[in-house]
Structure 1
């Protein structure tokens, strides 16, 4: 049991479902969480659709006190607290109101936090109303606000911090928590990431013209990873959270175990050799995957499925090439591969953590979840992967080892290797 790290709790606040049951059923059934957004239309966005969690049936008093809810105007904080507290409860852990839990900490990442609150603050300051900002303006807009909220709510006395690495943030956070437990500096770590929603987050991508513009009247068809007709990623938001724990601690507590983390790797392409602020250095991607495999103590042929980054851009075929080169596998020998962005879009800094929750759920369901909108598999991908390895619908398959990777702006990469749990 020494130094083994397992997953004992998960929570999610995603465009296609809040809570593990709703989220899991959506992935099983291929139910899209992408919707038309009236505010984007009113602001004349070219892309007027997005994946945004619906909070209309969520009682926020189950997650926040009345004092905390006063003036709360950060969707990222709300999503992150929902996912984080649900994961903590799912692991059989509870809020510690009287003392500190010195053995537990949190690494919860974000790309940008409290955009709407920051906008409100700018207007008040410019109008000379600085005293009307309120006492929560700082904590809602500082990047580490989400980990501060969760650390305080749960009474965590170990490391409480926030990471930020663009779209690889969530996967990187998981590896940071994994390494802290592996080195015996903590017994449990709540890990994950969140992303704000709304036009002030998504506007820059719309201006870059990398979002699909021709699907405003058919949003469920817009996100098309690995498709020949892909026209760009659909923006999304939300949060995912996992409780990582030493196997020794999990066994002592007698709790359920969703899976095990064998290892992983993070690196950067240095924006060299084809890498840039917005594109990956392919050699770095390959090296990241190979380093993750080596760190996990497995062979490449042990991986039986992949959850890719795969955003529905022209880079999808290149990503498949990189996976094939890293694993030295192609055709029918290529692992099953899917992209959950087909169902809920690209949730930016939250994407890695939300997708990791979905990846691990495949162990529980003994399935590989399907890919929406991929009937017309890109011809360059067809040259590398057998059609059957890119399932259109959920299939029965009992994965033993799944690789999950995320790649972010700034030419940064993260790859984690999950294993189904066995004694």
Structure 2
């Protein structure tokens, strides 16, 4: 029999707020973390706006030792450690200082790619026959599992310590992987989340695909427009989100604060067949993912009060709304409230799911549904499916009991997780 799993800690390093307090305030106010980047302009990018966390150098001293900071040049690793350590502390847990690993505690922390700038530096040094100058931290900063290895060592965890990678689905997938491990009794506590790198070497490929907005270089905060008729594409972003998942028994024994319960979810793929491809979703798979997530969570579709969609501000937004409606059998005014945080934080790629799950859960804590920024002109195809009142423009007071969160990624992969307000 599966055990109940709850969320007892959260941390975030987002483009519009570093730390839960600042991030919550930013979501309330609709504050944007999207800015013009002179470096992208110098490199002749078509889209010269992006979203990345603003982390001050003196802040890093709270998260890294002087030795760890030496030669550190991997933005995703930095974001992930900040979010991960904050979530661990928020859960009332301390780093392990004994000589025995915390056998019941693990890490599942994902990324798409790690240490791109560090890897670039390494290439130049190798080509210049300066291999000995690479330094001892090059490998840890450039291997994908560097983030989980870093956090596992900082916290002293002895259960599974691993990194998952599933494009934009990574963060949400990691939460479900952690949920399954705890619910099956293989762990008591798992720090899960995901991080994504900043910079032109990450964002350049998307600019070349011409799927980023090009008409907002002088108006960055208006560039990301999920569900809008005037949307031109997604704004690239970066950062990290982290959650501590824990068995209910463990949380109660510790007297831990409980943010929410994870009821269940589903992972699948469209197989890149039919209408599915490397970059386009297979609608049948998306609908099946949503339906099975609801079924696996032991609820009915009408019980879902709010949805935090993937909704990237591309031409696929209207299709996503249709897929939600078909999967749930709900439309018009009966459709749940739905929002996307990407109007404020852009599309944080591998970090998107975890950052957005943190924001979704905060709605239980605050008794609100956060608003949709830059969605004054809702796409007419969306309005054919659901009523415009279900897409709040600003934060509204509302106390959701059940929230669905989904992420859909390159490679035609899907994840949907169902959270509920905690009830003893």
| 1:96 and 2:96 matched | yes
- Rounded to whole Å, the distance in 2 between the matches of 1:416 and 1:381 is 23
Q: Residue 255 of structure 1: CA displacement?
A: 1.0
Q: What is residue 25 of structure 1 aligned with on the other side?
A: 25
- Rounded to whole Å, the distance in 1 between the matches of 2:385 and 2:22 is 34
SS at 1:62 equivalent? coil
Q: What is residue 240 of structure 1 aligned with on the other side?
A: 241
* 1:38-89 superposed Cα distances (whole Å, 9 cap, x missing partner): 1111111110111110012751111111111110000000000000000000
Q: What is residue 78 of structure 2 aligned with on the other side?
A: 78
| Runs of at least 5 residues in structure 2 that lack an aligned partner in the other structure | none
Q: How do 1:28-107 residues align onto structure 2 when only pairs under 5 Å count?
A: 28-56=28-56, 59-98=59-98, 99-107=100-108
4+ long deviations beyond 2 Å: none
| 1:138 and 2:154 matched | no
Q: Residue 389 of structure 1: CA displacement?
A: 0.3
- Rounded to whole Å, the distance in 1 between the matches of 2:170 and 2:221 is 26
Pick which of 37-46 and 328-337 moved more: 37-46
State the number of aligned residues: 423
- Rounded to whole Å, the distance in 2 between the matches of 1:288 and 1:58 is 43
Q: What is residue 190 of structure 2 aligned with on the other side?
A: 189
- Rounded to whole Å, the distance in 2 between the matches of 1:292 and 1:134 is 46
| 1:276 and 2:280 matched | no
- Rounded to whole Å, the distance in 2 between the matches of 1:54 and 1:374 is 25
- Rounded to whole Å, the distance in 2 between the matches of 1:129 and 1:97 is 38
| Runs of at least 5 residues in structure 1 that lack an aligned partner in the other structure | none
User: What RMSD, in angstroms, separates the aligned Cα atoms of the two structures?
Assistant: 0.9
Q: Is the 8 A contact 1:2 1:248 kept in 2?
A: no
- Rounded to whole Å, the distance in 1 between the matches of 2:314 and 2:231 is 6
Q: What is residue 9 of structure 2 aligned with on the other side?
A: 9
- Rounded to whole Å, the distance in 2 between the matches of 1:178 and 1:34 is 32
Q: Is the 8 A contact 1:9 1:242 kept in 2?
A: yes
Q: Residue 2 of structure 1: CA displacement?
A: 6.8
SS at 2:257 equivalent? coil
Q: What is residue 285 of structure 1 aligned with on the other side?
A: 286
- Rounded to whole Å, the distance in 2 between the matches of 1:33 and 1:76 is 17
Q: What is residue 167 of structure 2 aligned with on the other side?
A: 166
- Rounded to whole Å, the distance in 2 between the matches of 1:349 and 1:264 is 19
Q: Residue 199 of structure 1: CA displacement?
A: 0.3
Q: TM-score, normalised by structure 2?
A: 0.99
- Rounded to whole Å, the distance in 2 between the matches of 1:364 and 1:214 is 37
* 1:285-325 superposed Cα distances (whole Å, 9 cap, x missing partner): 00000010111011111101000000000000000000000
Q: What is residue 114 of structure 1 aligned with on the other side?
A: 115
Q: How do 1:116-265 residues align onto structure 2 when only pairs under 5 Å count?
A: 116-265=117-266
